[in-house]
Chain A
């Protein structure tokens, strides 16, 4: 860890967004993770995405569980709401918070242990409920806090730092999220911010369950030869199907692209995702084809990254439950407790 706080002085030309904030205003405390940790890059990407989207920090809630990845909310968005929950239980806390105040922007940050082992049940259910959130798994394939045992997302055949081979099959969180009905599914790499930052922006704008599996090399325990999440391995096997730009209504579209290489996806909130396709035949709207493609490429040893599936008209938990549009925490007592007459009426309707 670093002993000094990051100096407050910044570049004299550091831009400000419409709220008058610089990117530095979206930072948190200095990281206590190992030097070079991929998670720090993801934190930096979150900072940039929130700055770019001009989000008011006090309208964001960041939630996490336990683990290296779940420590990171301390290192970004220092002026936002935060909740560091029990191991693997971030999804239920996030779901509760979202039900109580649907107006905040929810950002769940978890790791492969927190989401694919102890919290896999919670992971599955928050996806199938379609909670309006951005759920980022900082996936390093290893238990870094306990010195480098394989995690549940580690590939069969990957080698530990001591050369031991992993015999268990890996849990593919992207495949699960697709199968369980997440309406925005992406995979990215902490070492490729050009791809990662716009994905986080798009996920934050998505009005449903958005999931990003972000491969994040553990420099201390999983960045050696034989690892499947090392910088070198990911860069060698990365198959990016697309890069995207998030365009809010104001911006003009000036760059021209060859026909068939760009697709514009209008999101429910009016923003546009400009997909710059690298794999021309890949369709981000076909959930089943996406699952097939991921299986195929995965079997060939490739790591597919980019925006993998998006439903531009998602339905979220509040829609399924037909709740009022006013956040519960803003309803007054009369609205929340309508009295014995209303209760009697409800009971009568159930008889």
Chain B
């Protein structure tokens, strides 16, 4: 029993707030670009690959590229991972849409018929700048993209090995954007932002990435320099064909995704004995689990808890690397410290070393007297919402904004920067952000028929077929992952729980018959006395321990109780609505279309 004076009862959930149902679509909520994942997965299951592609293209701009290389924040968020073993293979389904879409050029927006008279400079032709360009081009902006590389794409082209991302995919998806009408000044490095500002552009977007690979200044670095390479520079040289060979024995230092790309590239360029050696433990490595898996399956051992101490060399030639053995210790605050174990140092012989221990931003080309504020880490001060700097005409995005992240963050930044630039050029405040388009619509087709497939697949996650290892290791351009075929794609798509088809409850219709409680396979519905959230969570039919997931609370019902639904593990099977005699439960598709500059690129709502 509750006593007076405790925390007050929960208020009815405001489902009019778009965030509430958006959060229920875990994948979309977790995605920086908020791609409506279940919507395109349903289209893939229906064989409507082009439509699925266009939803992606609108939202994340690079479906074929991201379908191979995304960091996939959606997958750890996927509800399937909470009710079963593994999340839906969202990323690889995105690739399916790109692989089988056919010719979609007629679905793309047309280049603007006339200029709107505004000129925008974009520094760097990577994912962030290309996103800004794509959003603004159809609105009539005159866009000028600068990049020091001879081809557009930025790190997508220079740093991701071709065996993960074939060149033609980059060419295709970059062309969809450049085809919207823009001026490309490739091979032209910008050395002065001041000079660019003097050129009288209406706005400038800086999307130049984090181009500097961190070095490892330990003894021997200088003497053995000929065989010590900075990871991202080396990958870039490989990508542009300047390097096609490496020694037989290679050590890769670092535990991130760049290290994984370095070691796997080495295996294809003559490296037979390739090792990754990391300071931290295996679990703490920054590389995505699947990238570690792929490296290990190519016979690349990952050695942990070894801190590089010295590059050993003889006669001016690298002979190996000396490591100190460490172990992790945790202080009272749970912070990790690596301390020497006291064991003798360990030496590994090698012919080449690739240093992939991190990336840094570098803005030597931005003068410090042009009203752009820099912080204590020498990073520009960038607004997280508007992507604006302290100079109202200059915007940042991608790795250039907040340090190294990933492609999908760069895309998200690009969309927001495009909105800001559009607001600025229309004389509006960049603080005025356009709201998302939201649509909530019943999916009821008949007494127990829904417009979506509510039968829950029990299949476990399907693996993407790989190219035979012997063949893959011979050719650095041979893509390792072959992608799902249509049958596998359908089966994997069916694993999606359709979390965007929301359980919508109307308290005035409820007769408290318990039918929904009885049928719910995951015990997420309860009818209880209202109370404060913390204690209410424990009184439900299944205790709601996952506090990152909301409770859906109704208004008071006839008996004075409230309906409380724990969103955590709801399967969206619709059985509550099927067993409801009064239609108090309904399954309604929630479509949230994140705002873009003037809805430039075809609204999702027509999909």
Contact = CB atoms under 8 A, between A and B. Distances in A.
Given A6-B521, A9-B571, A11-B542, A37 B515 contact: yes
Interface residues of A, number: 36
A41 B514 contact: yes
A9 B511 contact: no
- Judged by DSSP, the binding face of A is loop
A160 interface: no
Contacts of A235: 558-559
Contacts of A9: 83-84, 456, 458, 521-522, 571
Nearest to B581: A36
A12 B84 CA distance: 8
A232 interface: yes
Contacts of B575: 2, 4, 6-7
B512 A41 contact: no
A23 to B, nearest CB: 9
B515 A12 contact: no
Given A9-B84, A9-B456, A35 B512 contact: no
A265 interface: no
B580 A35 contact: yes
Interface in B418-469: 448-449, 454-456, 458
Given A1-B448, A3-B448, A34-B581, A231 B542 contact: no
A130 interface: no
A7 B521 contact: yes
B513 A7 contact: no
Contacts of B83: 9, 12
Contacts of B513: 36, 38, 41, 191, 217, 219, 231
B82 interface: yes
Given A12-B83, A13-B545, A231-B511, A4 B454 contact: yes
Contact of A191 (B514, B523, B543): B514
A42 to B, nearest CB: 10
B515 A7 contact: no
A40 interface: yes
A276 interface: no
Which size bracket describes the interface of B in this complex? 35 or more
Contacts of A11: 522-524, 542, 569
Interface string A195-226: 00000000000000000000001011001000
Contacts of B559: 235
Given A13-B543, A231-B513, A8 B458 contact: yes
Interface string A127-164: 00000000000000000000000000000000000000
B521 A2 contact: no
B569 A12 contact: yes
Nearest to A15: B542
Contacts of B276: none
Given A8-B458, A11-B569, A12-B82, A44 B579 contact: no
19 contacts: A4-B455, A4-B456, A6-B519, A7-B458, A7-B573, A8-B456, A9-B458, A9-B522, A10-B523, A31-B519, A35-B580, A36-B511, A36-B580, A36-B582, A37-B581, A41-B515, A41-B518, A219-B581, A220-B581
Given A30-B519, A35-B515, 8 more contacts: A1-B448, A8-B521, A9-B571, A12-B83, A35-B580, A36-B579, A40-B518, A235-B559
Interface of B: 82-84, 448-449, 454-456, 458, 511-515, 517-519, 521-524, 542-543, 545, 558-559, 569, 571, 573, 575, 578-582
Which 7 residue pairs of A and B lie closest in terms of their CB atoms, listed nearest first? A36-B581, A7-B456, A44-B518, A4-B455, A219-B581, A36-B513, A35-B581
